């Protein structure tokens, strides 16, 4: 009888071990320096979906690779209807992995996270639903190699930064050139996450930390939500990680200088993932593990950061959701909105920093000197950190924007981002504020498929314009007001104008033959004394203009009724109260 009992115990133990081993990830089965590829990752989540009622996997649109983008959802209540989840007032965390597929830490860490949630190995969130995109840059993940991340300490093989069309997906969130981004927008609008986490690996300086972080820049996030993130959530996460014996620091945004001289917070404009998500009052984090640390330590740190974020959100979910609503209310028509930011150098804080001494020595490769970090000389120093930003350009929020229906590409992007609108039912004369493009610069090399404009300047005037039946009106009294402002105000760093959506307006379509127009110009000046006086004054004040007869004739043309109205006219109009 005793032998039989022992045999039963042995068989039971074997079965338990077999059941446990079934859920070991590819990362766990290896030597700590291996990462799951695309097929292994998707297969693993399909298994979790099949085995656990608390997990569901869904296809959510195509990517440039031709493969579908997936989301995996964990909900202890086994409900995966996001309309119902929103009604239940649960918090939602969206985790994005592999946007740069050569940085796979989050891919493996999230497989461990969902497995442990399903098995109850960690605290099960009661008030929070966890959503992940297992691998966002599928094309990059399929382009697997062991050399493109030349400075990175593992894993043995990984994906590539560019996607299937060689786009950096973390620069595409406004222009939406890729299918990946279009599918992400669908996911983001469907889930409406309260918290967004984007997992990365950082390049750059050497230091002691395994994990650094970028939190959404709190000044631009908005006063209510930004203060909550800066003063309550972020300190909690730092302290919670420290209790797990994982020291963290803000992303080490130091490139030409060593970090002990200080650095400023990374400013994520809307082209970046968390810059985009912040436009919809979502708290965003970029987890940046350090490339020079061992892969297993990086995966563990990423995992623990996500657990800490889940625990905070689940505990304070009502407060988080309340702060999101408060934040939305501050962007009302008539209020000022900061369109451009700059670091506030008068507000410097000091933070403890655990680094290594940076020294110079003779290069063995070049004729110059080189930087190296001496790991035998670790230090902890108090260093300056520039965390605060201030406004460098403000605008007044209009009541609405009006866009002629001919600009369907811009209108389609607004629609896909959940921006509410109505169309004019008949031709209508409306008084609006109108912009002319006064100046801009353009990069000389292609950047992510575009020749990006910058330093854009406009002039404005109030006009009564005839708009036509079918033209679109986008009210600013909606959740997506910040998205409207950042994309439709041409001076915004990531505006649709700066991303080349309106470049046809920059080309003059009609002109004149100078020898013919000379006679007409002379007649114009005879009939319009004011115009003649203005020309004379400009010749007097501007020496280069005075010495350029062609410029003078062109000036007369551009101040006449013959000059085309479309040239440099920005075709998005502001409707004020």
157-169 pLDDT, tens digit each: 999 999 999 999 9
Nearest of 52, 138, 129, 140 to residue 89 by alpha carbon: 129
> In angstroms, rounded to a whole number, what is the distance separating the alpha carbons of residues 85 and 90?
6
147 phi-psi bin (left φ>0, alpha ψ -120 to 50, beta other): alpha
Dihedrals phi, psi of 71, to nearest 5 degrees: -120, 150
Task: Give the pair of three-digit tokens for residue 459.
Answer: 């002039």
Task: Taking residues 24-28, report their average pLDDT.
Answer: 98
**pLDDT tier at 577, thresholds 50, 70, 90:** confident
Question: Is the pLDDT reported for residue 388 higher than 50?
Answer: yes
30 φ, ψ (degrees, to nearest 5): -90, -155
Question: Quick one: pLDDT at residue 256?
Answer: 73
Q: Which residues of 311-324 are buried (b: 16+ CB within 10 A; e: fewer)?
A: bbbbbbbeebbebb
**pLDDT value at residue 27:** 98
For residues 443 and 483, what is the distance between their CA atoms, to the nearest angstrom?
Answer: 24
Cα dihedral across residues 198, 85, 113, 148: positive or negative: negative
**Residue found by looking up tokens 């629609």 in the block:** 415
- What is the average per-residue pLDDT within 225-233? 98
Q: What is the pLDDT of residue 20?
A: 53
Coil, helix or strand for 278? helix
CB count in 10 Å sphere of residue 547: 10
Strand partners, 93: 130, 195
Confidence band for 174, pLDDT divided at 50, 70 and 90: very high
* Mean pLDDT along residues 535-550: 98
Rounded mean pLDDT of 571-575? 98
Nearest to 249 by CA among 382, 343, 149: 382
Distance CA 435, CA 13 (A): 74
- Backbone CA torsion sign across 558, 562, 567, 568: positive
Average pLDDT rounded to a whole number, residues 464-476: 98
Q: What is the mean pLDDT of the chain?
A: 96
What predicted TM-score, i.e. pTM, was given to this entire model?
Answer: 0.94
For the record, the structure tokens of 512 come out as: 């004149």
| Phi, then psi, of 476 in degrees rounded to 5 | -90, 0
Q: How confident is the model at residue 257 (pLDDT cuts 50, 70, 90)?
A: confident
Rounded distance, CA 471 to CA 461, Å?
Answer: 21
Taking only the tens place, the pLDDT of each residue in 408-442 is 999 999 999 999 999 999 999 999 999 999 999 99
Furthest-apart CA atoms within the chain: distance in Å: 121
Nearest to 556 by CA among 532, 529, 526, 530: 532
Say if strands 369-386 and 349-362 run parallel, antiparallel, or are unpaired: antiparallel
Spell out where 176-303 has E strands. Answer: 195-202, 211-215, 248-250, 263-264, 283-290
pLDDT confidence of residue 6: 47
How far is residue 90's CA from residue 82's CA, in Å, rounded to a whole number? 10
Coil vs helix vs strand at 25: coil
Question: For 43-65, what is the mean pLDDT?
Answer: 98
pLDDT reported for residue 19: 52
What SS3 state is found at 386?
strand
Give the mean model confidence (pLDDT) for residues 88-105: 98
At residue 457 the predicted structure's pLDDT band, cuts being 50, 70 and 90, is very high
Instruction: Determine what percent of the chain falls in helix, strand and coil, rounding each to the nearest 5.
Output: 35, 25, 35
- Give the chain's count of helices (H) and strands (E): 19, 19
| Euclidean distance between CA atoms 329 and 397, whole angstroms | 13
Strands 283-290 and 195-202, bridge-based pairing: parallel
257 vs 375: which has the higher pLDDT: 375
Residue-wise pLDDT for 548-561, tens only, equals 999 999 999 999 99
pLDDT above 50 for 9 = no
Residues in the chain: 577
pLDDT > 60? residue 285: yes
Q: Which residue has the tokens 């120093």?
A: 381
Q: Any bridge partners for residue 286, and if so which?
A: 198, 214
d(CA 304, CA 213) in angstroms, rounded, equals 13
Cβ distance 163 to 65 under 8 Å? Answer: yes
User: Which stretch of DSSP H or E encloses residue 534?
Assistant: helix 529-541
The DSSP symbol for 533 reads H
User: In this predicted structure, what is the pLDDT of residue 115?
Assistant: 98
Question: What's phi and psi for 365, nearest 5 deg?
Answer: -110, -45
- Shortest CA distance to 92 belongs to which of 106, 111, 71, 112? 71
| Sequence-distant contacts of 452-456: CB under 8 A, at least 24 apart | 452/498, 452/499, 452/500, 453/497, 453/498, 453/499, 453/500, 454/493, 454/498, 456/490, 456/491, 456/495, 456/497, 456/498
pLDDT at 13: 44
């Amino acid at each position: 009888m005793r032998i039989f009992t022992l045999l039963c115990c042995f068989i039971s133990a074997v079965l338990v071990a077999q059941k446990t081993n079934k859920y070991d990830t590819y990362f766990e089965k290896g030597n700590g320096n291996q990462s799951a590829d695309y097929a292994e990752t998707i297969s693993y989540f399909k298994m979790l979906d099949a085995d656990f009622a608390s997990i569901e996997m869904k296809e959510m649109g195509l990517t440039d690779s031709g493969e579908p983008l997936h989301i995996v959802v964990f909900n202890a209540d086994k409900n995966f209807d996001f309309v119902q989840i929103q009604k239940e007032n649960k918090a939602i965390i969206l985790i994005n992995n592999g946007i740069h597929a050569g940085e796979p830490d989050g891919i493996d860490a999230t497989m461990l996270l969902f497995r442990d949630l399903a098995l109850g190995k960690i605290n099960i969130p009661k008030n929070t639903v966890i959503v992940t995109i297992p691998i966002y840059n599928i094309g990059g993940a399929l382009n697997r190699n062991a050399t493109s991340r030349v400075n990175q300490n593992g894993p043995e093989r990984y994906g590539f930064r560019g996607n299937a069309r060689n786009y950096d997906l973390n620069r595409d969130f406004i222009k939406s050139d890729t299918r990946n981004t279009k599918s992400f927008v669908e996911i983001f609008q469907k889930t409406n996450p309260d918290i967004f986490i984007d997992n990365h690996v950082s390049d750059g300086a050497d230091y002691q930390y395994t994990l650094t972080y970028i939190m959404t820049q709190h000044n631009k996030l908005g006063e209510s939500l930004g203060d909550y993130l800066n003063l309550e959530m972020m300190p909690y996460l730092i302290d919670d990680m420290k209790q797990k014996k994982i020291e963290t620091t803000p992303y080490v945004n130091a490139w030409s200088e060593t970090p002990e001289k200080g650095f400023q917070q990374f400013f994520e404009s809307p082209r970046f993932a968390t810059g985009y998500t912040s436009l919809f009052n979502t708290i965003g984090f970029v987890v940046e593990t350090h490339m020079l640390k061992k892969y297993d330590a990086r995966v563990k740190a990423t995992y623990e950061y996500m657990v800490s974020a889940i625990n905070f959100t689940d505990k304070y979910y009502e407060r988080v959701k309340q702060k999101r609503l408060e934040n939305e209310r501050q962007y009302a028509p008539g209020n000022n909105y900061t369109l451009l930011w700059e670091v506030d150098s008068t507000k410097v804080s000091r933070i403890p920093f655990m680094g290594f001494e940076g020294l110079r020595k003779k290069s063995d490769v070049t004729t110059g000197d080189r930087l190296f970090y001496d790991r035998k000389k670790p230090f902890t120093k108090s260093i300056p950190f520039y965390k605060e930003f201030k406004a460098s350009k403000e605008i007044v929020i209009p009541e609405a924007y009006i866009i002629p229906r001919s600009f369907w590409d811009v209108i389609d992007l607004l629609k896909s981002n959940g921006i509410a609108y109505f169309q004019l039912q008949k031709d209508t004369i409306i008084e609006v504020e109108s912009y002319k493009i006064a100046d801009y610069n353009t990069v000389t090399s292609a950047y992510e498929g575009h020749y990006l404009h910058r330093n854009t300047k406009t002039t404005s005037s109030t006009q009564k314009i005839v708009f036509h039946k079918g033209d679109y009106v986008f009210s600013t009294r909606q959740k997506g007001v910040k998205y409207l402002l950042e994309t439709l105000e041409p001076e915004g760093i990531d505006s649709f104008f700066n991303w080349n959506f309106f470049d046809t307006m920059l080309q003059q379509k009609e002109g004149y033959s100078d020898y013919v127009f000379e006679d007409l110009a002379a007649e114009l000046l005879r009939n319009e004394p004011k115009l003649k006086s203005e020309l004379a004054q400009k010749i007097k004040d501007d020496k280069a203009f005075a010495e350029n007869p062609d410029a003078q004739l062109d000036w007369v043309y551009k101040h006449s009724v013959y000059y085309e109205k479309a040239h440099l006219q920005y075709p998005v109009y502001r409707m004020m109260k």
